[in-house]
A and B are shown apart, each in its own frame.
Chain A
């Protein structure tokens, strides 16, 4: 069976989700072309409802499993869970920011690129070989590059786009070099084969080099220290909805692929990368939180905090176990909601006041109690304060590394309490200070729904994580069934 044999039967129904998402993205683009400028704000609703429909389809596919093209494309609950997570993230970003996008213009481009980025993430989640991985990664990255500089007239946005494309290109190059080394050493791009071949041969220096390259290349995508420099600038400059999608979707997708690559393809050299990941996680948590402290711009603050969050998620990779994968997935899911909440508030606030500065958030609790409450809940969930979702997530993550990496547990939990310091500074400004402009902020319907939804989910997962935990268990379990 050669790879170029066209007669390999492909069951197209296995790719239903990807095809639907691609069709939705194209459909939005076509609708954008044929509809007059004034009617394009309706595209947001079309994309949102379309995504919700596809999420519905995805849920019915729960439990499917299999491989396409001799392991190039893996279908399991693990991939499906991530796909649902990405689509939920995209749907939240779209629902919460329609007015922001109308202000920027280019609705058709914005919505279709958001959906194509989602498609890239979904391909990453299912990738079973290095080429598919790279394909998905680039589809996502290129879509994001355009999204980041969507505000063409804003210098910051263009600067951010420039930085992003340069650093994304560089990290892709590094990653690609690592992947090609891996291919050179094993003669296969299929992850399952790679894992078998690596298990048979001794660890060569070239393999270690490949590992370092891959960690560096993917480290950029999750903005782990020391590969994080790009993210605050890009996060600040990009339009806020894009920032929000970048920090949850792109990061989650990169984690999906990191887990797959390291635990499916490279478990044989686990002892070579576990400590590196653990140390990187520790440094990321410390640096991300410490640098977040003096920030005065809400988007930069959230950017640094999201760096720290990536550090927490990395903790789950260290043991390469089912429990660890579960922790990563659980945390990523709730992180999506916390981030969506915080950034939706930031975007809406920017819409009303034109400012991202923390000091302008003074008295937000009196101008809009809902926005202040959502911001507070989202931030505290990231800090891991019970009874919010972040606490349960951290519990799942850290319980996997108690044996052997106790120092990392200490770092993680102490730094998460330290992070409360800067999260509470936001609370201080919002709750204590009197507003300069006391006029109440009217939150529009879809935004209210997004805000309440993110807050409720964060609270409910925190108090009653049982059901989600069962779902994630089943997803993590399916990871090892190939």
Chain B
């Protein structure tokens, strides 16, 4: 059981840590409400009009394309760091990898995903 004692302590501490924070703030918080306090603060501005608006799917497509190339860099970094030690084969592999991503971008472009309509 001693193996698991660490896990148990970990969970207990995590629980106490989380609950303790909430509890402390509950105990010491000022309880006087005034109009200024009830305003949004740093969480945005007061909304104008109905809040159930649809976002353009273009946002989504942009985000998606961004993520793809964002993730690509994760692979590119270690590859670049070790570049000098590698054979030509690895170089070709990375070219293929980028090529596949470019085909994806090409496809998205052709389908009009990059046009802001």
Once the chains bind, are A26 and B90 in contact (CB under 8 Å)?
A: no
- CB contacts (< 8 Å) of B107 on chain A: these are 29, 32-33
Q: Per-position contact with B for A51-64: 1 when CB-CB < 8 Å, else 0? A: 00000000000000
Q: A6-B82, A6-B85 are in contact. Are A29 and B103 (CB under 8 A)?
A: yes
Interface size on A, residues (CB 8 A): 8
B residues near A33, Cβ cutoff 8 Å: 106-107, 110
Docked Cα-Cα span, A33 to B109, in Å, equals: 10
A460 contacts the other chain (CB 8 A): no
Interface residues of A in 1-28 (CB under 8 A from B): 6-7, 12, 26
Which residue of chain A has its CB nearest to the CB of B109? Answer: A33
- Nearest residue (CB) in A for B110 is A33
Q: Which of A6, A7, A26, A32 contacts B100 (CB 8 A)?
A: A26
Contact A30 B103 (CB under 8 A): yes
Which residues of A from 24 to 44 have beta carbons under 8 Å from B?
A: 26, 29-30, 32-33
Given contacts A6-B90, A33-B110, contact A26 B103 (CB under 8 A): yes
B77 to chain A, nearest CB (A): 13
B86 within 8 A of A: yes
* Residues of B84-117 contacting chain A, CB below 8 A: 85-86, 89-90, 100, 103, 106-107, 110
User: Which residues of the other chain, B, contact A32 by a CB distance below 8 angstroms?
Assistant: 107
A12 neighbours in B (Cβ, 8 Å): 89
Shortest Cβ distance from A24 into chain B, in angstroms? 13
Tell me the number of A-to-B contacts counted with CB atoms below 8 Å.
16
CA A32 to CA B82, docked complex, whole Å: 37
Q: How many residues of chain B have a CB within 8 Å of chain A?
A: 10
Determine the distance from Cα of A393 to Cα of B110 in the docked complex, in whole angstroms: 48
Compute how far the CA of A12 lies from the CA of B89 in the bound complex, rounded to whole angstroms.
10
B99 — nearest CB in chain A belongs to which residue?
A: A26
Min C-beta distance of B113 to chain A, whole Å: 12
| Separation of A7 and B84 alpha carbons in the complex (Å) | 12
Which residues of chain B are within 8 angstroms of A26 by Cβ–Cβ distance? 100, 103
Chain B residue numbers with a CB within 8 Å of A29 are 103, 107
CB neighbours of A6 from chain B (8 A) = 82, 85-86, 90
Contacts of B106 in A (CB 8 A): 30, 33
Instruction: Collect the chain A residues with CB atoms within 8 Å of residue B85's CB.
Output: 6-7
- The residue on B at minimum CB distance from A12 is B89
- Interchain CA distance A30-B110 in the complex, whole Å: 11
Of residues B82, B90, B103, which shows the largest number of chain A Cβ atoms within 10 Å of its Cβ? B103
Nearest-neighbour CB distance to chain A for B114, whole angstroms, equals 14
Bound-state CA distance A26–B89 (Å) is: 21
The smallest C-beta distance from A1 to any residue of chain B, in angstroms, reads 16
Complex Cα spacing A481 to B107, Å: 43
Give min CB distance, A43 to chain B, whole Å: 14
Q: Which chain A residue has the least Cβ–Cβ distance from B79?
A: A6
Contacts of B110 in A (CB 8 A): 33
The smallest beta-carbon distance between B17 and chain A, in angstroms, is 24
Docked complex Cα distance between A12 and B110 (Å):
32
Minimum distance in angstroms from A151 CB to a CB of chain B: 17
Name the CB-closest residue of B to A34: B110
Q: Which residues of A sit under 8 angstroms from B89, Cβ to Cβ? A: 12
Interface residues in B40-58 by Cβ distance below 8 A to A read none
A7 to B87, alpha carbons, bound, how many Å? 8
* B100 neighbours in A (Cβ, 8 Å): 26
Proximity bits, B68-90, A CB within 8 Å = 1, else 0: 00000000000000100110011
**Interchain Cβ contacts under 8 Å between A and B, 8 examples:** A6-B85, A7-B85, A26-B100, A29-B103, A29-B107, A30-B103, A30-B106, A33-B107
Which of B's residues lie within 8 Å of A, judged by CB?
Answer: 82, 85-86, 89-90, 100, 103, 106-107, 110
Q: Which 5 pairs across A and B sit closest by C-beta, in order of nearness? A: A33-B110, A33-B107, A26-B103, A6-B86, A29-B107
| Further contacts, 6 of them, CB under 8 A, given A6-B86, A12-B89, A30-B103 | A6-B82, A7-B85, A26-B103, A29-B103, A29-B107, A33-B107
